Structures are given as C-alpha cells and as structure tokens.
Amino acid sequence: MPAQRTGSPAPEATPPRRSAFAEGVEQVRAAATTEPGRLRLIGAVLAVLIVAFGAVTAWQMTDRAAAADDVLHRSQPLSSGAADIYRSLADANTAASSGFLAGGQETAASRARYETDIRTAAAKLVTAAANSEPGSPSEAAVAKLNRLLPEYKGLVERASVYNRQGYPVGGAYLRYANEKMQKEMLPAAEDLYTKENARLSSDYADATPYPWAAIVLGLLALAALAWAQLRHYRRTNRVLNHGLVAASAATVVTLLWLVVGHTFARAGLDGSYDHGVRSLNVLHDARIASLKARGNENLSLVARGAETVTVDGETYDAYYYDFDQDMAALGKGLSQAAALADDSAGSKPVQAAEGNMKVWKERHAGARTEDENGDYQAALDKVIGAKGATAECFDSVDANLKNALAHEESEFQERATDGRDAMSGLPIGAAMLGVAAASGALFGIGRRLSEYR
C-alpha cells in the first residue's frame, strides 16, 4: 500500500476588510433597528435640514441685500453720472456755439456755462474711471473721453480767438470741434451710459429673484418637524414636545420673514425701476435731445449753409436737418415721460417742457425763414436775442427737464431704500434662528432619548 501523506490542514481564508463607509452604513442600519437609534437618526436629519435652511437663507439674502445696496449706492449713481457726462459735453458744445455766434458780445454767463460743463464732465470722468473694472469696455470709453476732451477744448479756444479777431477760419475750427464732439465724444459717452445701464440692470437681476432654494429647504424642514412631532404623538400619546415645537416656531418665523421680507423688498426695487429708473432714462434722453437740437440750431447759423446732407434725393442744410430729427426725439421723449409720470409733481414739469418745445419750434421756424431769405442778423436775433428768442425756450425746456429729473431721482431713492431696508437684518436673523431651531430640535429629541436610560 502506498504511504499516506500527513500534514496540518490548510488555513481558512481571511474575509476582506470592509471599507469604513460600508461599516458606517452597517452601524447606522443596526442602530435604526432600535428606538434610541431611530431617535438619534431623526435628530441628526432635523438638525441638518434646519441648519441648511438657515445657512442657505443667510447666503442668498446676503447676496440680494448686497445687490440692492449696489443698485442704490453704486450702479444707479454711476448710470446717472454717465448721463451727466453726456449732458455736460452736449451742453458745453451748445454753449460754445452760442458764444461763437455772439462774437465779441459773448456774455460772462455764457462763458461760465461752457467752463462749468467742461469741469463737470472732467470730474464725472474721474469718478467713472475710479469705478471702472480694469480692461472693461467702460474703462476704454472713459480713457477715450479723457483723451478727446483736451483736444476739443483746444479747438474751441482756437475758434474763439479767430472769431474775436474777425477771421472766418474760426467757424471752420468750431465746426471741426463740433464734428469731434458729435462723431467721437458723444458716441463714447453714450457707450459709457449704455454700459453703466447694463450694470444697473444686472444688479436689479441679482437683487430681485425669489430665494427658491431657501424657501424649498424651509418647507422641507417644516415638513420633517411636523412628521417628527406626529410620530412622537403616536408613540407616546403626548401632544407636545417642547423642543420640537420651539424648533417649528423658529423655522416658521424664519420662513415667513424670508418670504414677506423679500416680497416687500422686491416690490420696492421693482417700484424704483418702474417709477424711477425708467423715467430717469427717458428724461435723460429727452434732455440730451434738446441740447443737441440747440447746438444744431446755433451751428446752422455758424455754417451759413456750408454743410449739407442729401436724404432720398433731396439736399438739406445739415444742421437744420439734424435739428428737426432732434426735436422729433425730444417730442417723443416728453410724451413717454408724461406717460410714465405717476403724480402731478412728475407730470407738471414735463407738460411745461412740452409747451416750451411748441413755442421753440414756432420761433425756430421764423428764424429759419429769415435765414433762408438772407437776413442773417434777423435770424441771429431770433436765436440768441435778449427777448423772444429760441434761447428762452431752450432754457425753459432744460430747466423743466432738470426739475423732472430731480423729482424722479427722489422717487428712485425712496423706493430703492425701502426695498433694501426690507432685507436688513434678514441674513443674520436667519442664521441665528436656524441655530436656535436646530438646538430646539436636538433638545426635544434628547428629552425622548433620556427616557431610555
């Protein structure tokens, strides 16, 4: 018989060690088979939901409050500042042409107006440069205007010097200055205004959306708390668990504060846009149109027919043609402003400006007739004369539009402030109430756990 082999039995294979996550899941599953384990799990879920609700509420409302503050203190003032740059440049151009027409009779007031407009534009450009992001289109527009402004001033000064000496070349310099203003400076200022308005719209878009993530988490937290209290009642026949009731109350207060506070904030911000920003934009456009119309009216007498434009086969004096276009834009802007005005304080200056515009057009027609008939001095008197001239109408239009802008600015400030203030304290309050609610839930669950010890 063959010899039998002897030896120790083969060792049993050691089962592979499970991952920490798998062991954790197994421990949770095992704990959930007992009532204390279930209570601990319920307490953890409630605390996580409530803390998440408070944290997301604080985060979302902090962002919205910051955007609302930007609307009030940053983007809207910068948008108005950009409009002021455009207005100051256009008004400086108008004042320069008025002074040129007066020649040696230029008044100190006319010269002071030109200088004031130039200083205002320069100061506003400094503010715009300080608030422009490096490399942004706004920074490029500001840089372009800062480069062109001294060039424009130099051309106007040359025109004034030659005009006082009686040299016709002064008119050419003034037309060149006007061309630089109309084709380079005002388009750059308009581009800056457009960019700042886009920033304003972006801040509104960040401030007004409902915080849906926070609202959904709040509802989930309330539903979980209601379920936990119903479970407690079914197992113990006790109606109230003080800790869970306190957590529910804190969560309800936070959710109501969130919804009601943001609703009021949204209403205030929407009102500041509908009854403030929209009116301001229309009024700024109308005021700019009146300034451009006045400048073209003056330049038509400076050029004396030297500049023409052909439209649909018809040839027109270029400045008279542009004047008609600007007056049409002014009339349209005033009609829109009147429709947007929501009280008599806003509508009265607009209606007054419409009346001034009507008289202006009538007087301008008379001046144009005199000019076309070759009576230059009579036309000049009807444009820049001491009494009964179109200058009076332009000044009245400008003054009434300035009053309307001041009223709409105050409307914006009031409503935007209400909107921002409605969110005041909400981020910090939500965080504190969230901590209190989570503590109450853990306390309530802890009381139940103590019954098993």
Give per-residue pLDDT as tens, 309-336: 777 777 778 888 899 999 999 999 999 9
281, burial (CB in 10 Å: exposed 0-12, middle 13-18, buried 19+) = buried
**CA dist., res. 85 & res. 88, Å (int):** 5
Q: Which residues pair with 234 in a beta bridge?
A: none
How far, in Å, CA of 247 to CA of 75, rounded?
40
- Residue 1 has a pLDDT of 45
Structural element, H or E, at residue 19: none
Confidence (pLDDT) at 15: 58
Distance CA 162, CA 412 (A): 47
Residues 6+ apart with CB under 8 A from 210: 262, 266
Give dist(CA 141, CA 52) in Å, integer: 44
Tell me which residue of 407, 34, 67 sits closest to 209, measured CA to CA: 67
382 in Cβ contact with 99 (< 8 Å) = no
| pLDDT cut 70: percent of the chain above it | 91
Mean per-residue pLDDT, 353-359: 96
Nearest C-alpha neighbor of 47 from the set 303, 250, 345: 250
- Whether the full predicted model's pTM is greater than 0.85, yes or no, is no
pLDDT at 377: 87
**In the prediction, which pLDDT does 326 show?**
93
- 360-369, long-range: CB within 8 Å, 24+ apart, which pairs? 360/327, 360/390, 360/393, 360/394, 360/397, 361/327, 363/388, 363/389, 363/390, 363/393, 364/297, 364/323, 364/390, 367/297, 368/300, 368/320
Instruction: Return all residues near 382 (Cβ < 8 A) that are at least 6 apart.
Output: 363, 366, 367, 370, 388, 389, 390
Beta pairing class for 314-317 and 308-311: antiparallel
The crossing angle, in degrees rounded to 10, of helices 318-340 and 278-303 is 160
- The residue written with tokens 């001491």 in the block is 386
pLDDT tens digits for range 65-103: 999 999 999 899 989 999 999 999 988 988 888 888 877
pLDDT at residue 16 is higher than 90: no
Give the orientation angle of helix 20-31 with respect to helix 35-70, to 10 degrees.
110
Beta strand extents in 110-239 (DSSP E only)? none
| Rounded Cα gap, residues 354 and 338, in angstroms | 9
Burial degree of 22 (CB within 10 A; 0-12, 13-18, 19+): exposed
Q: Strand, coil or helix: what is 276?
A: helix
